[in-house]
Amino acid sequence: MPTAPASPVTDLPPRVVWSSIAIFWCLWVVLMTARAAAIGFSEPVDMLARRCAVALAGAALTWLFWRGLRRVGTARPAAMAVVVLVGALPVTIAFAVANWWMFYGWHPTASNAAVVARWGSAATFRYLVTDSTVSWLFFFVGWATIYLFLRAAHRSARAEQAALAAELRALRYQLDPHFLFNALNTLSDLVQSGRADEADAMIVDFSGLLRRMLADGDSGPTTTLGEEIALQRLYLALEERRFPTRLAVTIDVPDALAGRPVPRLILQPLVENAVKHGLASANHVNVRITAAAIPDAVRLVVRNEAASAPPRTGLGIGVANVRERLRLAYAGRAALQAGPDGEAGWIAELTIPDA
């Protein structure tokens, strides 16, 4: 049974490879043109046209060289050095032959034809191919070295991104069961207290909450602020049914900010803290969520306005989780400040930068 061909190791995007090849051979044309001008070669226009044709051949050979290098997976420097040298040698010889043919083998200019007549075709070929191979071998080696360096940096960045994504998923998955557990507790309290009508209404809200969470589960680590607020409205509606006389909710998020990207469920631990700890220490709590645009960022505030509630001093696991997710997702550009809000209540302020 035939087997599938081995896939190449993680490589640079093709546009990066082609850009590096183009830059190198443009540099070659510039260097050789400057050298010709310094020496005083005749027929500069004809020479430049031939030089550009040779550069195109060199770019094609470099592309073939890359096709081989991209399948080399070894990371040992000594092994890579041998691979590069062995691979560069035939490519450089082919380039040297192309260079000889363009300048001396195919309709040479008058000055080059005189060189061939004086030395002979065979001697001219041997000398020029040998000299060009020695001169330009390290040019191909230099390109290969830069390519391998860029590839290693690309692999490292990909690995770092994968590790970051995995860590963000792990932090987010810590929230999902906790979120559902709290919602189920709320529903259980209504059933046990005999509030059947409210329990029925809450089941409808809870099913909407589950539907949204399950639909969003595989949608990536980010969502829009509008979607995040909609999810918090569902959760807070459940809690309001549980505590109709003790809990009030105020949400003030401008429509213009609804499309801003934010980490999924980033507000959930903060909203849960505001509800749970406020109701544990006060008869009435107002949970307020606000958003405002600031330069290059959006500021989100979750405030617990608890009547006669002692200020909280501990940050808790939920706040630490939010802070760590922000650190991983935004590399220090996001911020979370959380703590007591005056004599009573608690406040958390998030600053999330624009993408």
Q: Of residues 47 and 295, which shows the higher confidence score?
A: 295
The runs of H, that is alpha helices, within 217-313 are 225-242, 268-281
Mean pLDDT of 224-235: 89
Q: Which CATH class for the 193-353 domain?
A: alpha beta
> What is the reported pLDDT for 5?
38
With 60 as the cut, is the pLDDT of residue 241 above it? yes
pLDDT digits (tens, 9 = 90+) for 12-40: 888 889 999 999 999 989 988 888 888 77
**Distance in angstroms (rounded) separating the CA atoms of residues 166 and 328:** 11
pLDDT over threshold 50, residue 4: no
Confidence of residue 311 (pLDDT cuts 50, 70, 90): very low
- Torsion, CA 123, CA 125, CA 128, CA 132, rounded to 10: -140
Task: Return the pLDDT at 173.
Answer: 55
Domain boundaries, the chain: 14-159, 193-353
152 by DSSP, 3-state: which? helix
How far from chain centre, in Å, is Cα 110?
A: 56
Contact 302, 272 (CB under 8 A): no
Residue 282 dihedral angles phi and psi, to the nearest 5°: -145, 155
Highest-pLDDT range among 23-32, 188-197, 323-332 = 23-32
pTM of the model: 0.53
Inter-CA distances, 178 with 211, 335, 337, Å: 17, 23, 22
Does residue 312 have a pLDDT over 60? Answer: no
Residue 308 has pLDDT above 60, yes or no: no
- Poorest-pLDDT segment among 3-17, 107-121, 135-149, 154-168: 3-17
State the pLDDT confidence band at 284, using cuts at 50, 70 and 90.
confident
In this predicted structure, what is the pLDDT of residue 300? Answer: 96
Q: Which of 49-63, 266-280, 297-311 has the lowest mean pLDDT?
A: 297-311
What pLDDT is attached to residue 214?
61
Beta-carbon contacts of 71 under 8 Å, excluding residues fewer than 6 positions away, are 6, 8, 9
What is the pLDDT averaged over residues 74-81?
72
Can you spell out the DSSP letters for 42-67? S-HHHHHHHHHHHHHHHHHHHHHHHH
Choose the weakest-confidence range: 45-59, 296-310, 327-341.
296-310
> Residue range 297-305: average pLDDT?
91
Name the pLDDT band for 162 (thresholds 50, 70, 90): low
Q: Is the dihedral of CA 273, 179, 206, 253 positive or negative?
A: positive
Give residue 342's region: left, alpha or beta (phi > 0; psi -120 to 50): left
